[in-house]
Structure 1
Amino acid sequence: MDSPAGLSEGIAKTMRDITNAMTRKDVLSPIFKGKHFAPMHSVESIEYALNRWRMPENSVVVASFPKTGTMWCLEVVRQILCGDDDDLLNKSRSVPVLAHFLEMGSAAKYTDLYPHLPKKFFFTHIPADIFNFEMVERSNSKIIYIYRNPKDQIVSWYNFFNKQLEFVSEQGHRAIGQNWSDFFANYTAGSHPLGTAPGEWYPDHLTGWMNRARRNKNILVVEYESLKKDFPNELRRMAAFLQVELGDGIVDKITTNCSISQMKRDEKADQTNFLQKNVNKGEVGGWKDHLTVSQSELVDRIFEEKLSGTGIKFTYTI
């Protein structure tokens, strides 16, 4: 295997080239099985990742809706799998986080990145109704689904949407720069292309995955706020699910390594700038500074209706 530095340099350049190609302003949102995806995806890469790619044995997949703690959960998984071996951890960090993005199947096809990953862990925003669970079962792999209270998710998505991405609508108009009121109305109406059909958004993604998790022992559900509130215990629960034993010393080490402040420092090593766009404050309760009373009540009504029977209860403050 190449040295971590050499591996990082070569793969990082490839990932930057792929990212630049997929974020051209003239590319419209691709549609796959009725789901509309952001322009950074392609039908080819999604189809390859779900239908033709063979998931490596004993992989771990972090599944989530955007801005629900994906990068944090992914780092926790990395630490569980590699944290007790500094050399392995450094090799893992040498691979840009974007290489773990399952929907970028074309990256694996054209550059053969995945065999170089020291441990096989990936993340996906694919909704459960089109996700290929058979490839997970065939490879004896496991899924961790992380969810977050919807009001903080909306605010986090608003900040990310306006500051980082240049989304293109189906008509080719830039949607960036909307004010909060317009953004909230459009988003909660399901008009954003996030791997969802028109009219769908976070509650639909969450409901699909929760229904699947209830009947699949290889899916562990993690609440973002519980991870924030009691990190050591949630860490141990995740490690037990992945069949990894953690001593007290490694728990303390992982707790430090997975703090937002430490991840902010680590992000400087990510040459694709992906972490810089995805690691923010990680606060719980920031929605109170954005949502009006009527907006908050609307979110409550939508989620109460759509999540009926899932058993999900949200934590809005800690």
Structure 2
Amino acid sequence: MAEATARSMDDDDFTHVVKGIRYPRFVSEDNLKAMATFDIRDDDIVIVTYPKTGTNWTLEIVNKILSAGGRTDASSDDMVGKLEFQYPDEPRPHHVMLQECASPRVILTHLTPDTAPPGIAHPQNNVKVIVVMRNPKDTAVSFFHFEQKMRSRLGKQAHHSWDEYFMQNFLPGNHPFGCYFDHILGWWQKRDDPHFLFLKYEDMKQDLPKAVKTVAAFLQVKLDDASIETIAHACTFSNMKSTLDNSRYDDRTVMARKGIVGDWKTMFTDEQSRLLDLKCKTKLEGTGLQFNFE
């Protein structure tokens, strides 16, 4: 009983629930309330993702495009992290820190349209929002390994086996930042709005130069073919891993693991795969949203 109590307390310390969605402790309720009045600038670029679906990869691509276009001299490591975050060693929440950043700002968030600032959920004028999505099986496996690495770094024992994590957290939607399907479908409803660009992790892996070219065009940055190839090469997984591994930020150093499509096969049982296939069918059928799993 003592062991169960300690484990429960640790879980409570790690996440809390606001309006039915679980959040890590560094996303406080005050930070979430502040989203309603967060001011969006006309030249803001926002990267929206569910956790572990390509956030830092897309940030690196965007940053290198802006740099090549002469619109920033900052590196991706100079960027403020997720809009809704505040880590224990930081005196101010990120949404406050972002107010002091020079334009154009690149803003990252894991929030849903219902919880994101109105200027992101309903962008106006020249605001650009890039939504990155990844197939749910690889997303689940990537998050599971990320959580294990973070707990190990903090000197904590893993509090989930893969089966527990999948069956108790990911599949039923009892997951940090909410249900995977609710999150992506909330943003997918914006697909006809020209302020939004939707990217899939699997398409980026298949043809990275094409993805770079698409993002550059969306951001209205003119680049020649040589520049696009240079950026794509710099943003391959091996080069990105080196960048992240040497980041000055602790959480970025554990972000990159394999960066492949289909790694879910190393973890999923046949039954788990069947259950998630069924959920995909239930949630995605008729939405026009499909994913490649290998």
Tell me the TM-score normalised to structure 2 length.
0.84
Shift of 1:100: 3.2
Between the aligned partners of 1:151 and 1:309, the Cα distance in structure 2 is: 20
The answer (yes or no) to whether the contact 2:37–2:117 under 8 Å persists in 1 is: no
Q: Which residue of 1 aligns with 2:53?
A: 68
Q: Which residue of 1 aligns with 2:82?
A: 101
Shift of 1:178: 1.6
Of 27, 30, 33, the match for 1:47: 33
Between the aligned partners of 1:202 and 1:46, the Cα distance in structure 2 is: 19
| Higher mean displacement: 134-143 or 271-280 | 134-143
Aligned residues: 275
The answer (yes or no) to whether the contact 1:59–1:139 under 8 Å persists in 2 is: no
The answer (yes or no) to whether the contact 2:57–2:235 under 8 Å persists in 1 is: yes
The answer (yes or no) to whether the contact 2:82–2:94 under 8 Å persists in 1 is: no
1:77 maps to 2:58: no
Tell me the TM-score normalised to structure 1 length.
0.78
Q: Which residue of 2 aligns with 1:184?
A: 166
The answer (yes or no) to whether the contact 1:125–1:195 under 8 Å persists in 2 is: yes
Q: Which residue of 1 aligns with 2:191?
A: 214
Q: Percent identity between the aligned chains?
A: 29
Between the aligned partners of 2:182 and 2:157, the Cα distance in structure 1 is: 22
1:266 maps to 2:251: no
1:248 maps to 2:201: no
Shift of 1:44: 1.3
Between the aligned partners of 2:197 and 2:167, the Cα distance in structure 1 is: 32
Of 263, 266, 270, the match for 1:289: 266
Structure 1 segments, 4+ long, off by >6 Å, are none
Shift of 1:138: 4.6
The answer (yes or no) to whether the contact 2:43–2:127 under 8 Å persists in 1 is: yes
| Higher mean displacement: 261-270 or 34-43 | 261-270
Q: Could you tell me which runs of 5 or more consecutive residues in structure 1 were left unpaired when the two chains were aligned.
A: 1-23, 167-173
Shift of 1:133: 3.4
Q: Could you tell me which runs of 5 or more consecutive residues in structure 2 were left unpaired when the two chains were aligned.
A: 1-9, 87-91
Shift of 1:223: 0.7
The answer (yes or no) to whether the contact 1:31–1:43 under 8 Å persists in 2 is: no
Between the aligned partners of 1:296 and 1:26, the Cα distance in structure 2 is: 29
Deviations 1:190-236 (A, max 9, x none): 222x222xxxx21111111112x234221111010100101111211
Q: Which residue of 1 aligns with 2:130?
A: 144
